[in-house]
């Protein structure tokens, strides 16, 4: 019998494992679309190429895309292309990331990208470094205000990738700054002889004006960027050591040691040395700079280097297949702080703006203001020294305790959690105050059966706190704030209201002690 049970368990385990393995092999359908975002605030056109895991939707509004239910929505990936290129040149990596569940935003930088037409391309645009990171920041501002998918996507957490000039772009988003004069000096040295980055208007160029230098070397960090991947990045020799040392984001640098376009020691190696704790994935074969573009078939040369034809013995598709697991592993590492989406933050702020508060006050029932007036009068009565009959002295403590208790159960529910937390708060404060209360403020006259109470502002203060807490509680529930649904909300509010009631319970006990003595 035991043997039969063990056999059944083994068969069941193998079945589960095979089902899980089979589930992992189910391909994810990747969709690619071009989205025209119109003009950015800078006046620059913005067209993005979007890769995402395709879902199954029956009907969607216009301009909305169907995102898979299992898609990762608390972060997105942005890709910045190389100089004079386009996001379309990097399908190999974008599709792999989308198949893994991520939304990938491919940026087409106007003025460089052929995506807008060859007539818009101007090689001088490549020297205007600041346009690239500001493009990305502005595009994400636009995306955060649009309902691009049927599901909500958090655009406030970005993993930024880029190749060549795109690698330098994501470095700028992480806080790296560049010194153009330092770059111009370097491009005159022997070490820059075979460095094609110097041919983009840096070598032998006249000294630019001060305004250009300030823009070139400005700070363009975006706090939404939480992780960067620099693929064979350029301008490593121009990055200031101070800004490199200040980069605290998780960083992966992918490069080619025997580079035919950007010498590794001038670029990738400098980033790797300057950015603390950065990871490096270095190709040590005959791979060149353009190995990181899609497989292509043309005879285009860029400064004498073939765009599509690799050196002997290099397989571009195989190289891509080998790089993808390393990049995915870095992307998946749980080492970033996830911020709330911009819309969620704005929604929380909007809950407390002046217009909203005015509206709340307008729709507050009239009896609430009557109750407030009565409580103020009750509190002010406690301010002056007075003699009170025994029968009346307990009215205020009992009334405040009952208002707190009944209100707690009405708003938060009659559950063991609310009861326990209210009692815990009331008991802890009551015991503490009974022990430390000064009984000299109360005396009892047996002849007239009255208590003489010394005046104090404290009861009025506590009464107002109870009222405000109850009002805020009702307002939060009525507005259905996200906070109300947090697991700790009901216990904490119950405890606070119980603790405030403990003040009046302690008062009642003090009165009884004085009468008995």
What DSSP designation does 337 have? P
Residue 26 pLDDT greater than 80, yes or no: no
pLDDT band at 95 (very low <50, low <70, confident <90, very high): very high
**Structural domain boundaries enclosing 50:** 26-343
Instruction: Determine, yes or no, domain membership for 355.
Output: yes
Question: What DSSP string describes 357-398?
Answer: HHHHHHTS-HHHHHHHHHHHHHHHHTTS-EEEEHHHHTHHHH
Judged against a pLDDT cut of 50, whether residue 496 lies above it is answered with: yes
Same domain membership, residue 370 and residue 276: no
Q: What CA–CA distance (Å, rounded) separates 344 from 196? A: 46
Is 474 found in the same domain as 431?
A: yes
Domain boundary among 287, 315, 343: 343
422 plus 299 within the same structural domain: no
Dist CA 116 CA 271 (whole Å): 31
Summarize pLDDT for 431-457 with one digit per residue, the tens: 888 777 666 677 777 777 777 777 788
Strand order in the sheet with 450-453: 386-389, 450-453, 442-445
The candidate with the shortest Cα–Cα distance to 72, out of 95, 107, 104, is 104
Is the residue at 269 inside a domain? Answer: yes
Q: What DSSP string describes 103-129?
A: -EEEEE-TTT-GGG-GGG--GGGGG-T
Within-domain flag for 15: no
Q: Per-residue pLDDT averaged across 480-493, rounded?
A: 79
Does 325 share its domain with 405? no
Q: Is residue 9 part of a domain?
A: no
Q: Indicate whether 418 and 311 sit together in one domain.
A: no
How big is the CA angle at 97 (ends 132 and 45), to the nearest 5 degrees?
30
- Whether 367 and 489 map to the same domain: the answer is yes
Residue 358 shares a structural domain with residue 317: no
The total of structural domains in the chain comes to 2
What number of other Cβ atoms are within 10 A of residue 257's Cβ? 15
- Same domain, yes or no, for 155 and 295? yes
pLDDT for the residue 17 = 40
Band of residue 5 on the pLDDT scale cut at 50, 70, 90 = very low
Q: What is the mean pLDDT of the chain?
A: 86
- Three-state secondary-structure class, residue 19: helix
Question: 285 and 357, same structural domain?
Answer: no
Instruction: Write down which residue in 306, 324, 343 finishes a domain.
Output: 343
The whole-angstrom separation of Cα 89 and Cα 79 is: 11
Q: How confident is the model at residue 346 (pLDDT cuts 50, 70, 90)?
A: low
Task: Show which of 316, 343, 370 is a domain's final residue.
Answer: 343
| pTM (global) more than 0.85 | no
* Domain-located, residue 10: no
């Amino acid at each position: 019998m035991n043997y039969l049970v063990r056999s059944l368990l083994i068969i069941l385990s193998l079945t589960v494992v095979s089902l899980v393995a089979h589930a992992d092999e189910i391909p994810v359908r990747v969709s690619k679309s071009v989205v025209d975002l119109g003009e950015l605030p800078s006046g620059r056109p913005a067209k993005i190429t979007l890769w995402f895991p395709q879902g199954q939707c029956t009907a969607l509004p216009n301009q909305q895309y169907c995102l898979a239910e299992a898609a990762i929505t608390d972060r997105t990936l942005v890709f910045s292309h190389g100089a004079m290129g386009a996001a379309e040149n990097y399908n190999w990596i974008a599709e792999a990331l989308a198949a893994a569940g991520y939304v990938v935003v491919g940026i087409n930088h106007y003025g460089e990208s052929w995506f807008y037409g060859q007539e818009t391309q101007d090689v001088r645009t490549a020297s205007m470094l600041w346009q690239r990171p500001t493009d990305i920041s502005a595009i994400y501002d636009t995306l955060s205000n649009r309902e691009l998918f049927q599901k909500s996507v958090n655009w406030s957490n970005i993993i930024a990738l880029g190749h060549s000039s795109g690698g330098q772009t994501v470095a700028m988003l992480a806080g790296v700054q560049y010194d153009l004069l330092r770059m111009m000096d370097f491009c005159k040295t022997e070490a820059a002889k075979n460095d094609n980055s110097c041919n983009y208007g840096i070598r032998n160029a006249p000294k630019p004006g001060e305004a250009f230098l300030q823009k070139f070397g400005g700070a363009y960090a975006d706090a939404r960027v939480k992780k960067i991947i620099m693929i064979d990045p350029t301008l490593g020799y121009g990055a200031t050591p101070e800004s490199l040392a200040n980069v605290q984001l998780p960083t992966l640098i992918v490069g080619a040691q025997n580079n035919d376009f950007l010498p590794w020691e001038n670029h990738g190696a400098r980033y790797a040395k300057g950015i603390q704790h950065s990871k490096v994935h270095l190709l040590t074969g005959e791979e060149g700079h353009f190995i990181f573009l899609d497989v292509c078939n043309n005879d285009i040369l860029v400064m004498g280097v073939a765009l599509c034809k690799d050196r002997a013995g290099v397989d571009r598709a195989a190289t891509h297949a080998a790089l993808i697991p390393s990049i995915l592993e870095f992307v998946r590492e749980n080492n970033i702080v996830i911020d709330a989406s911009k819309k969620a933050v704005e929604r929380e702020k909007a809950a407390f703006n002046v217009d909203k508060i005015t509206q709340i006050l307008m729709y507050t029932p009239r009896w609430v203001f009557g109750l407030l007036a009565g409580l103020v009068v009750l509190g002010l009565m406690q301010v002056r020294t007075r003699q009170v009959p025994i029968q009346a002295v307990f009215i205020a403590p009992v009334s405040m305790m009952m208002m707190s208790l009944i209100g707690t159960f009405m708003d938060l529910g009659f559950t063991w959690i609310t009861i326990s937390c209210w009692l815990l708060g009331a008991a802890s404060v009551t015991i503490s105050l009974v022990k430390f209360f000064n009984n000299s403020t109360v005396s009892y006259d047996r002849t007239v059966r009255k208590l003489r109470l010394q005046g104090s502002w404290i009861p009025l203060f506590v009464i107002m706190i109870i009222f405000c807490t109850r009002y805020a509680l009702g307002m939060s529930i009525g507005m259905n704030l996200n906070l109300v649904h947090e697991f700790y909300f009901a216990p904490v509010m119950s405890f606070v209201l119980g603790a405030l009631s403990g003040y009046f319970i302690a008062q009642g006990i003090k009165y009884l002690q004085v009468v008995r003595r």
